[in-house]
């Protein structure tokens, strides 16, 4: 177990396993840390168990750290808007004045090269405006090129919300952890539950049992395995997603927004002195949860080679010169999306008394972290009625096809 205090963040790391807690959180990614924060704010004594030797070391750091209010349904839009409001005054929110989470509002710019795509964008923006999201702009190709001169002449329409953006996921996770007052037990794997009369009464770990009446599973891709120990089956599909990192690319405009080819799903945003580039491969097979996620060079070729149907050069031609000069270092990071059937998170109580979930964000767990974890804790405490929680665990779900992101 970790024995030293982190320097920058006043996180309470345990020397010995606590014997009891009001609530135990399983998982020390962004969602485990955020759950601990909202549980602490509600006055609960919380312990977090993380099997790895560092917080924020599995899916969360593989992410792009981006957030957007531009959703296709009002429930997720509101959940993320709550998170964005928390991120915008994060230091005050978690009580760590001066903590800089490198919040960047450079917007999300969605682009299409087809007339059907333009009509779809128009319909979606009208819907978003009817839900109160009034700051999304619909641009013609020409207007978009005037604002973002790096765009290709083929772009015919764009939707853009300047308030969307990205942040530093390590800093947010550490900030939630430090602000929570919870006890963090590193190198401590949960291995099972102590159950009595069908209810959870404790969490078994590699160092002993923590007695508790409430447990929140925030174990990322391992959440299904963990819930299974209590006899609860979760319909989750784990799919590998990769991030291409090119740390230095002089052509990337540092003030560019998240730039998304809505026709293919390829997207990138400025990062370091270059960019993070992504693409949601819809044919990736679901697999078991992984502690080490493999990456594939084919991901790089698919995004950079102008001959690829989802090349980023399609809508931002400067990427063609990056490919041609072949002079920039690159590397890949991998993580798993934890998909639910309807691609929305599972938040709050389960049918097992004392067992709660904060998982299944289907690729949106950074942007959903504050709003979703607050809601999961409120639902655990009975402050939100099940019917008022659109993300309740036992809800009717319609199977959803793949999203662009």
Ligand X SMILES: Cc1cc2nc3c(=O)[nH]c(=O)nc-3n(C[C@H](O)[C@H](O)[C@H](O)COP(=O)(O)OP(=O)(O)OC[C@H]3O[C@@H](n4cnc5c(N)ncnc54)[C@H](O)[C@@H]3O)c2cc1C
Radius of gyration of the chain, Cα coordinates, nearest whole angstrom: 21
Is position 26 an interface residue for ligand X (rule: CB under 6 A)? yes
Rounded Cα–Cα distance for residues 308 and 292 (Å): 28
Rounded alpha-carbon distances, angstroms, from residue 140 to 54, 111, 157, 310: 47, 10, 5, 22
Among 25, 99, 136, 226, binds ligand X (CB under 6 A): 226
Is position 28 an interface residue for ligand X (rule: CB under 6 A)? yes
Rounded Cα–Cα distance for residues 391 and 337 (Å): 17
Q: Minimum Å distance from CB 351 to ligand X?
A: 21
The stretch near ligand X (CB under 6 A) out of 96-104, 156-164, 241-249, 386-394 is 241-249
Q: Minimum Å distance from CB 365 to ligand X?
A: 2
Is position 29 an interface residue for ligand X (rule: CB under 6 A)? yes
The stretch near ligand X (CB under 6 A) out of 9-17, 133-141, 240-248, 295-303 is 240-248
Among 24, 99, 172, 218, binds ligand X (CB under 6 A): 218
Nearer to ligand X, 155 or 293 (CB): 293
The stretch near ligand X (CB under 6 A) out of 124-132, 143-151, 219-227, 388-396 is 219-227
Is position 57 an interface residue for ligand X (rule: CB under 6 A)? yes
Is position 30 an interface residue for ligand X (rule: CB under 6 A)? yes
Q: What residues from 354 to 393 belong to the interface with ligand X (CB under 6 A)?
A: 359, 361, 363-367
Among 12, 52, 105, 395, binds ligand X (CB under 6 A): 52
Is position 60 an interface residue for ligand X (rule: CB under 6 A)? yes
Total interface residues for ligand X by CB under 6 A = 39
Is position 64 an interface residue for ligand X (rule: CB under 6 A)? yes
| β-sheet bridge partners, residue 185 | 49
Is position 103 an interface residue for ligand X (rule: CB under 6 A)? no
Nearer to ligand X, 50 or 263 (CB): 50
Is position 51 an interface residue for ligand X (rule: CB under 6 A)? yes
SS3 sequence of the chain: CCCCCCCCCCCEECCCCCCECCEEEECCCHHHHHHHHHHHHCCCCEEEECCCCCCCCCCHHHCCCEECCCCCCHHHHHHHHHHHHHHHCHHHHHCCCCCCCCCECCCEEEEECCHHHHHHHHHHHHHHHHCCCCCCEEEEHHHHHHHCCCCCCCCCEEEEECCCEECCHHHHHHHHHHHHCCEEECCCCEEEEEEECCEEEEEEECCEEEECCEEEECCHHHHHHHHHCCCCCCCCEEEEEEEEEECECCCCCCCCCEEEECCCCCEEEEECEEEEEECCCCCCCCECCCCCCCCCHHHHHHHHCCCCCCCHHHCCCHHHHHHHHCCCCCEEEEEEEEECCCCCCEEEECCCCCEEEEECCCCCCCCCHHHHHHHHHHHHCCCCCHHHCCCCCCCCCCCCCCCCC
The stretch near ligand X (CB under 6 A) out of 39-47, 50-58, 95-103, 149-157 is 50-58
Nearer to ligand X, 64 or 264 (CB): 64
Nearer to ligand X, 33 or 118 (CB): 33
The stretch near ligand X (CB under 6 A) out of 22-30, 103-111, 301-309, 375-383 is 22-30
Binding string, 301-320, against ligand X, x = CB under 6 A? --------------------
Nearer to ligand X, 125 or 217 (CB): 217
Nearer to ligand X, 60 or 174 (CB): 60
Nearest to 64 by CA among 294, 276, 247: 276
The stretch near ligand X (CB under 6 A) out of 131-139, 143-151, 236-244, 387-395 is 236-244
What is the contact surface with ligand X in residues (CB under 6 A)?
Answer: 26-32, 49-52, 57-60, 62-66, 189-190, 218-220, 222, 226, 241-243, 335, 337, 359, 361, 363-367
């Amino acid at each position: 177990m970790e024995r030293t205090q982190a320097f920058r963040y006043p996180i309470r790391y345990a020397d010995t396993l606590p014997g009891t807690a009001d609530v135990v959180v399983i998982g020390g990614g962004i969602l485990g840390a955020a759950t601990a924060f909202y549980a602490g704010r509600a006055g609960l004594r919380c312990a977090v168990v993380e099997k790895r030797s560092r917080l924020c070391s599995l899916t969360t750091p593989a992410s792009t750290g981006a957030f957007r209010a531009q959703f296709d349904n009002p429930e997720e839009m509101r959940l993320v808007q709550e998170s964005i409001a928390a991120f915008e005054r994060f230091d005050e929110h978690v009580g760590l004045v001066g903590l800089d989470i490198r919040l960047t509002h450079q917007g999300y710019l969605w682009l299409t090269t087809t007339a059907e795509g333009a009509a779809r964008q128009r319909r979606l923006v009208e819907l978003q405006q009817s839900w109160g999201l009034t700051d999304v702009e619909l641009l013609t190709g020409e207007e978009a090129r005037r604002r973002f001169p790096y765009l290709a002449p083929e772009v015919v329409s764009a939707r853009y919300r300047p308030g969307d953006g990205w942040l530093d996921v390590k800093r947010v996770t550490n900030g939630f952890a430090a602000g929570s007052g919870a006890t963090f037990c590193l190198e401590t794997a949960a291995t099972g539950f102590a159950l009595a009369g069908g209810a959870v009464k404790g969490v078994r770990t590699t160092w002993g049992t923590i007695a508790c009446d409430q447990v929140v599973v925030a174990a990322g891709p391992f959440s299904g395995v963990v819930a299974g120990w209590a006899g609860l089956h979760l319909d989750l599909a784990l799919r590998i997603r990769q991030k291409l990192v090119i740390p230095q690319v002089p052509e990337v405009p540092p003030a560019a927004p998240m730039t998304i080819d809505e026709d293919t799903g390829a997207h990138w945003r400025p990062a370091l002195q270059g960019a993070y580039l992504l693409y949601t491969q819809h044919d990736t097979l679901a697999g078991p949860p992984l502690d080490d996620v493999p990456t594939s060079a084919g991901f790089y070729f698919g995004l950079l080679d102008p001959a690829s149907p989802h090349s980023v050069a399609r809508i931002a031609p400067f990427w063609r010169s990056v490919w041609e000069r072949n002079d920039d270092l690159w590397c890949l990071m991998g993580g798993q999306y934890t998909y639910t059937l309807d691609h929305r998170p599972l938040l709050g109580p389960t049918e097992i008394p004392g067992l709660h979930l904060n998982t299944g964000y289907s690729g949106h767990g950074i942007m959903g972290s504050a709003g979703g974890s607050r809601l999961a804790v409120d639902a655990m405490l009975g402050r939100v009625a099940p019917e008022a929680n659109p993300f309740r665990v036992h809800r009717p779900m319609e199977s959803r096809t793949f999203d662009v992101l």
